[in-house]
Amino acid sequence: MKKAIQIKENIYWVGVHDFNCRKFHGELFPIEDGTTYNAYLIVDEQVTLIDTVEEEFLDIMLERIQSVIGDRPVDNIIVQHAEPDHSSGFLKTMQKYPNAVPYASNAGVKHMLEQYFKEYAYNKVKTGDTLSIGKNTLTFVEMPMIHWPDNMLTYLPESKIAFSNDAFGQHIASYKLFDDEHSLETCLDKAKDYYANIVMPYGLQVNNKLKQILDMNLEFDMIAPAHGVIWRSYISELLEAYKQFANFSSKDKVVIVYESVWKHTQMMAEALAEGIGRSGVEVKVFKNSETSTSLIMKEILDAKAILAGSGNYNNFMAPSMASFLEKLASCKIKGKKALGFGSYGWANVVTKEINARLEKAGFAPVVDESVTVNFTPSHDDLNALEELGEKIADAVKNM
């Protein structure tokens, strides 16, 4: 029988491990090591379940719950987020515990009805609302657009735990449930990865919500997210990292992303990288079609500039680069600069289109240059590109 894991007195982790997950949110977020869907059980005069799990893993969650309360019913179910990785097990949980009272934000109730088409006597809650369950009182904090309109956080003041759902999550699939059972570097790196691929478009909302939470003077012994490890020792470092992420804080770093069939554009990318790197600026170079999207987005989060390159394919850029530029535009990135480059054969059109898309996405040019080469770059072309890389490095240092 699967058993619950106690995280504080009368509070239990009843989640599941998805060790085989390699595509989180479909193709949008490739991951390496699987993930967890965290649900939490509070045993008091009323038994309260914080979130459910993916429907396919529901029996494991129910086993963990029963390992603590046996045949005792669950009295309350807190739906912090209606996205299916947290809510698709809800209907069958209600079948198991038909008298449980569900709580959700106003948007959460709307999303649950629109996805599952079944009405329950939902209690709609907003920031500052409370629920007494005996010795403990739950306080709700709405967190709209981190990363859906319905997200919310549930705070338990008696135990100083924030159940934060997607906020502060990471993809660490381990029975070592706490942050200090892993290195600080690992935890923050995974949190950065998750932020860059899930939360990055909502930096403004993250900044505002962090300020609101701090203004509420909540004390945290633990932050228990819906994915990954529970934070208890690295909380101050985590909150500082989130401030940096939300502000798109950057270092002297350039990310080069390109697509190339006959290596002409690849040669350009590597020559630009040579000039940037030898000028003392960190540079990362990725062939888009052979690199995890999640890795590229994580590296972009703290870079000052992005260089995007493609060859010409029937007068269009490579499809993978078009997709990458759409992804960039959707992330609403602030404070960074960019530049397109590429090789062409008989129609010099693609680099202009890349730069137009970058400009439309809000990126100013890192340098005022047109960076194109006809067919194979010559030695003179490559030398000129290295010199341009040095110029880009100087611009980055002065940003």
pLDDT for residue 199:
94
Tokens describing residue 97? 């515990």
Is 111 annotated in the active site?
no
Q: What's the one-letter identity of residue 267?
A: M
Per-residue pLDDT tens digits for 160-193: 999 999 999 999 999 999 999 999 999 999 999 9
Beta bridge partners of 29: 24
Give the start-to-end residue ranges of the domains of the chain: 5-246, 255-397
Is 25 annotated in the active site?
yes
39 and 53 in contact (C-beta within 8 Å)? yes
Is 258 annotated in the active site?
no
Per-residue pLDDT tens digits for 71-114: 999 999 999 999 999 999 999 999 999 999 999 999 999 999 99
C-alpha distances out from residue 219 to 141, 158, 232, Å: 14, 10, 12
pLDDT for residue 23:
86
Residue 169 DSSP one-character state: -
Per-residue pLDDT tens digits for 284-335: 999 999 999 889 999 999 999 999 999 999 999 999 999 999 999 999 999 9
Length of the chain equals 399
Beta bridge partners of 399: none
Residues whose CB is less than 8 angstroms from the CB of residue 175 and which lie 6 or more positions away in sequence, other chains included: 5, 17
Asked if the model's pLDDT at residue 207 lies above 80, the reply is yes
Catalytic residue among 86, 111, 171, 227: 227
Is 85 annotated in the active site?
yes
pLDDT for residue 174:
96
Is 166 annotated in the active site?
yes
pLDDT for residue 25:
79
pLDDT for residue 214:
82
Give the strand order in the sheet containing 152-156. Answer: 130-132, 137-142, 152-156, 161-165, 222-225
Residue 313 DSSP one-character state: B
**Confidence band (pLDDT; 50, 70, 90) for 65?**
very high
CA distance 329 to 27: 17
CATH superfamily of 255-397: Flavodoxin domain (3.40.50.360)
Asked if the model's pLDDT at residue 28 lies above 80, the reply is no
**Confidence band (pLDDT; 50, 70, 90) for 357?**
very high
pLDDT for residue 91:
96
How much of the chain exceeds pLDDT 70, in percent? 100
Catalytic residue among 44, 81, 142, 381: 81
Per-residue pLDDT tens digits for 44-58: 999 999 999 999 999
SS3 290: helix
pLDDT for residue 213:
85
Catalytic residue among 44, 51, 54, 83: 83
Is 227 annotated in the active site?
yes
Per-residue pLDDT tens digits for 219-258: 899 999 999 999 999 999 999 999 999 999 999 999 999 9
Is 252 annotated in the active site?
no
* Mean pLDDT value of segment 121-147: 96
pLDDT for residue 218:
85
How much of the chain exceeds pLDDT 90, in percent? 91
146 and 209 in contact (C-beta within 8 Å)? yes
Catalytic residue among 194, 195, 202, 258: 194
pLDDT for residue 195:
96
* Mean pLDDT value of segment 38-42: 98
Residue in the structure block whose two tokens are 């949110």: 25
Catalytic residue among 51, 54, 150, 166: 166
The CATH number of the structural domain formed by 5-246 is 3.60.15.10
pLDDT for residue 237:
97
Per-residue pLDDT tens digits for 334-348: 999 999 999 999 999
